[in-house]
């Protein structure tokens, strides 16, 4: 069906104008196609309409056939597709191109009106970036070239549910509470660590349980973990995201795509 860019453009035009072309300027219904420019031009006022304007394909230099193949691979693989696999499957020359395709398609799949997390929710904050010389410990943020993130994960029995993650400018109370108000339903039971920035969750309409996580040495000596989701048979999303190996593997540049 989509062996060439022309077929892809025809499909986009049918999606854009299911009842036939209509000029947005003069409302005239007659037009002709400019294939190379990916545009349709009104025969009366000569106004040109881009098929990709206002979409994730806007101003793209990548062939539409590659975009369509990427969308097909993403929606037919239940395991999920990585950028590296997409690069190999599509035959693109640069990894960054595959990463961009994957990120934009994922962004388009997000439901803006999706339901917020509810019930029992675990929240944690962290930074993501490579190792940096001259900084003492992982808690030193001043001078660190890293992305600050916050993660919220639902608890569903002994398993994990949906997750929300965002890049944030700082770990201040206003920033963290604004994230929770946007992603977690009021009245939910929120588990956090003892960071002072979470102190205002009760006033914000959440039930709040603050716990101090034992050190690794204390856990080895038999201390019980304070993280509710850690009792699940598999790692929770937040544990995976907060792991040191994940932090070092991800870079700020890739996270911001």
Q: What torsion do the CA atoms of 222, 226, 231, 232 make, to the nearest 10 degrees?
A: -150
Distance CA 190, CA 116 (A): 13
Distance CA 34, CA 45 (A): 15
Average pLDDT on 131-138 reads 72
Q: What is the pLDDT of residues 156-214, one digit of tens each?
A: 887 888 899 999 988 899 999 999 999 999 999 999 988 889 989 999 999 999 887 77
107 vs 234, higher pLDDT:
107
pLDDT at position 139 is 66
Instruction: With a cut of 60, say whether residue 235 has pLDDT above it.
Output: no
* Rg (the chain; Cα; Å): 24
pLDDT at position 31 is 87
Among 21-25, 59-63, 117-121, 249-253, the least confident range:
249-253
Among 80-84, 134-138, 164-168, the least confident range:
134-138
Sheet strands side by side (includes 39-42): 31-34, 39-42, 48-50
- Is residue 226 a contact partner of residue 210, using CB atoms and an 8 Å limit? no
Average pLDDT on 124-137 reads 78
Residues 6+ apart with CB under 8 A from 106: 74
**Per-residue pLDDT band at 137 (split at 50, 70, 90):** low
pLDDT at position 138 is 66
Distances (CA, A) of 32 to 45, 49, 55, 99, 161: 12, 11, 21, 34, 50
pLDDT at position 70 is 94
- Is residue 98 a contact partner of residue 87, using CB atoms and an 8 Å limit? yes
Distances (CA, A) of 70 to 7, 35, 56: 16, 21, 13
Apex 164 CA angle, 159 and 166, nearest 5: 145
Phi and psi for 148 in degrees, rounded to 5?
A: -90, 135
**Per-residue pLDDT band at 30 (split at 50, 70, 90):** confident
């Amino acid at each position: 069906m989509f062996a060439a860019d022309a077929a892809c453009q025809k499909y986009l035009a049918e999606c854009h104008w299911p009842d036939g072309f209509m000029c947005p300027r003069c409302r005239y219904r007659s037009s002709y196609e400019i294939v190379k420019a990916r545009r349709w031009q009104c025969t009366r006022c000569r106004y040109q309409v881009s098929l990709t304007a206002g979409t994730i394909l806007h101003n793209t230099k990548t062939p539409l056939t590659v975009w369509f193949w990427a969308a097909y691979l993403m929606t037919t693989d239940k395991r999920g597709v990585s950028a590296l696999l997409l690069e190999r499957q599509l035959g693109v020359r640069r990894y960054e191109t595959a990463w961009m395709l994957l990120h934009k398609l994922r962004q388009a799949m997000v439901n803006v009106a999706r339901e917020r997390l509810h019930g029992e929710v675990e929240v944690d904050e962290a930074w993501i970036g490579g190792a940096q010389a001259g900084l003492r410990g992982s808690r030193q943020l001043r001078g660190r070239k890293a992305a600050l993130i916050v993660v919220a994960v639902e608890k569903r029995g002994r398993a994990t549910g949906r997750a929300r993650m965002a890049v944030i400018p700082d770990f201040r109370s206003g920033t963290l509470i604004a994230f929770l108000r946007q992603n977690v339903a009021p009245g939910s039971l929120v588990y956090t660590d003892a960071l002072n920035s979470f102190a205002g969750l009760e006033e914000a309409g959440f039930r709040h349980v603050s716990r101090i996580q034992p050190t690794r040495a204390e856990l080895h000596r038999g201390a019980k973990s304070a993280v509710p989701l850690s009792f699940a048979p598999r790692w929770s999303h937040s544990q995976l995201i907060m792991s040191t190996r994940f932090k070092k593997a991800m870079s700020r540049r890739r996270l911001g795509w």
